[in-house]
């Protein structure tokens, strides 16, 4: 019997970097038409890839290796003082894990999040079709972790399930509730979810040294980074 063909990889064309606009970026993408993509996804995560919609990619830029894949070994995680305060401040919040999908309530929250937190960020014109394409996809084993207080939807953490891990894909929340620290709260609930399920890791995407909006990931300790060959500890005092 012939060996199955390996998954093909493609380079995208250069495009403006989403983190450093003055830089050009490009990505390495697994063949989006390959029917084995869902099967390969867990291994791709362990190689530093991410999912966006139906695309599985990782940055592969000329002369730049700023994007560092990171993950939390959830059984060893210990919240710091700030994270414990966040949990106490949100003691009234209930978390529910639900099937991924679009609803009017979720879409309205998503639109308010983009308008309030990322105006002019390139997704201002996202409609319901773009919401489904970006956050749900067609083949991933995704779930939506909803955070509510008093029945009000505060945040949604889009989360993928793989064999022994969760992957934090995207989180959107009520921009008028910034004092709650809903982004932090979502990660803490995802860690707890992974731990309850006996999963080993929560993948957080990319940490970028020196980037104000991405540096928060260092605060989840212990944290592991992928150096292109293996995962190793990322100390909390890593270069900011």
Query: Could you state, in order of their start, the residue ranges of all structural domains in the chain?
Result: 9-67
Task: Read off the pLDDT of each residue in 58-69 and give the average, rounded to a whole number.
Answer: 94
Q: Please report, rounded to a whole number, the percentage of residues in the chain having pLDDT higher than 70.
A: 94
User: Any bridge partners for residue 144, and if so which?
Assistant: 98, 158
Task: Read off the pLDDT of each residue in 197-202 and give the average, rounded to a whole number.
Answer: 98
Ramachandran angles phi, psi of 73, nearest 5°: -75, 100
Q: Is 118 helix (H, G, I), strand (E, B) or coil?
A: coil
Is the Cα dihedral 112, 117, 119, 120 positive or negative? negative
Task: Read off the pLDDT of each residue in 132-139 and give the average, rounded to a whole number.
Answer: 89
Q: Rounded to whole angstroms, how far apart are CA atoms 53 and 63?
A: 27
- For residue range 20-43, what is the model confidence (pLDDT) as tens digits? 888 999 999 999 999 999 999 999
The whole-number pLDDT of residue 125 equals: 63
- Phi/psi region, residue 113 (left: phi>0; alpha: psi -120 to 50; beta: rest), is alpha
């Amino acid at each position: 019997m012939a060996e199955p063909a390996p998954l093909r990889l493609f380079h995208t064309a250069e495009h403006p970097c989403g983190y450093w606009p003055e830089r050009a970026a490009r990505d390495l993408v697994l063949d989006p038409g390959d029917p084995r993509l869902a099967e390969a996804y867990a291994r791709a995560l362990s190689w530093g890839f991410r999912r966006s919609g139906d695309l599985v990619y990782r940055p592969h830029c000329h002369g730049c290796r700023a994007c560092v894949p990171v993950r939390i070994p959830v059984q060893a995680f210990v919240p710091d003082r700030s994270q414990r305060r966040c949990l106490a401040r949100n003691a009234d919040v209930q978390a529910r894990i639900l099937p991924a999908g679009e609803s009017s309530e979720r879409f309205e929250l998503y639109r308010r999040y983009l308008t309030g937190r990322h105006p002019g960020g390139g997704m201002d014109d996202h409609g319901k079709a773009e919401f489904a394409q970006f956050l749900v996809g067609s083949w991933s084993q995704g779930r939506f972790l909803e955070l509510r207080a008093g029945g009000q939807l505060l945040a949604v953490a889009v989360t993928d399930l793989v064999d022994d891990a969760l992957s934090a894909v995207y989180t959107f929340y009520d921009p008028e509730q910034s004092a709650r620290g809903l982004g932090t709260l979502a990660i803490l609930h995802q860690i707890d979810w992974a731990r309850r399920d006996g999963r080993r890791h929560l993948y957080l995407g990319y940490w970028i040294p020196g980037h104000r909006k991405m540096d928060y990931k260092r605060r989840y300790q212990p944290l592991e980074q992928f150096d292109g060959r293996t995962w190793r500890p990322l100390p909390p005092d890593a270069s900011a």
